[in-house]
Amino acid sequence: MDKSIKHRISLVQSNKLENEYYCFDFEKPAGFTFVEGQFCVFELLNNNIEGRNSRVFSIASCSGEDNIRFATRIVDTPSEFKQALLKMQAGEEMLMTTPKGKFVLEKDYDGVFIAGGIGITPIRSMLLSKARNTRKRDDTLIYSELVECYPFKDDLEKLPGLKIIYACDIEPTQKAITDCTKKYQNNVFYYLSGSPGFVKGITGLLKENGITSDYIKFDVFVGY
């Protein structure tokens, strides 16, 4: 378990978004700051579960929002950690470490954001922040989700200056990426987030298409 400062955070609400996706909103501790795209370790309190009682989740909210939010996939036979999450009631507390991670926005650049399923969480945070803090933008989100469930679709579609391409299979995802690399080449940053297999495959495709490592940033959701 991480040795950094731990904040006690209180659950405000949890919601099933759609299909296997759930989101959890917590009160923001006084003075808590983070950079959009970062993650924290979230630890259960008072739970006697088998195995690890903490998980890494990216912060899905942006600094301008009232709550700290994370979102996750919870399948029919979830880990004990996720079973305990589902049982949490408003007012119950968890521990949250200080935020970490370098998967953050590059100032003054447009972006092509590529999310694989639940990999949308840090990207939602970054895109909301960009919408609040950047006057003119030309960003693209390629949202790849194999069963056509797109958490946070409504929030994302309201953002100005963002073109969203939904892709519900590997081939349309690859086509959308190739179209973007032809259009933007090494003039934008490419932000990828999702399972290790997703990030590895997409990084390979970007490089085949001539995008250099300097312009590729990624967050690997180890555990999927």
d(Cα 17, Cα 145) in Å, to the nearest integer?
A: 14
Residue recorded with tokens 């942006």: 62
Which element (helix H / strand E) includes 11? Answer: strand 6-18
Q: At what angle do helices 196-208 and 170-184 cross, to 10 degrees?
A: 40
Cα-Cα-Cα-Cα dihedral sign, residues 45, 27, 81, 86: positive
Question: Which residue, 38 or 181, has its beta carbon nearer to ligand FAD?
Answer: 38
Could you tell me which residues come within 8 angstroms of residue 15 by beta carbon, excluding any fewer than 6 positions away?
22, 23, 25
Question: Which residue, 83 or 185, has its beta carbon nearer to ligand FAD?
Answer: 83
- Least distance (Å) from ligand FAD to the CB of residue 167? 20
Could you tell me which residues come within 8 angstroms of residue 104 by beta carbon, excluding any fewer than 6 positions away?
35, 36, 37, 38, 126
Question: Which residue, 26 or 221, has its beta carbon nearer to ligand FAD?
Answer: 221
- Least distance (Å) from ligand FAD to the CB of residue 80? 8
The footprint of ligand FAD (CB under 6 A) covers 39, 55-58, 70, 72-73, 79, 81-82, 118, 121, 219, 221-224
Question: Which residue, 23 or 142, has its beta carbon nearer to ligand FAD?
Answer: 23
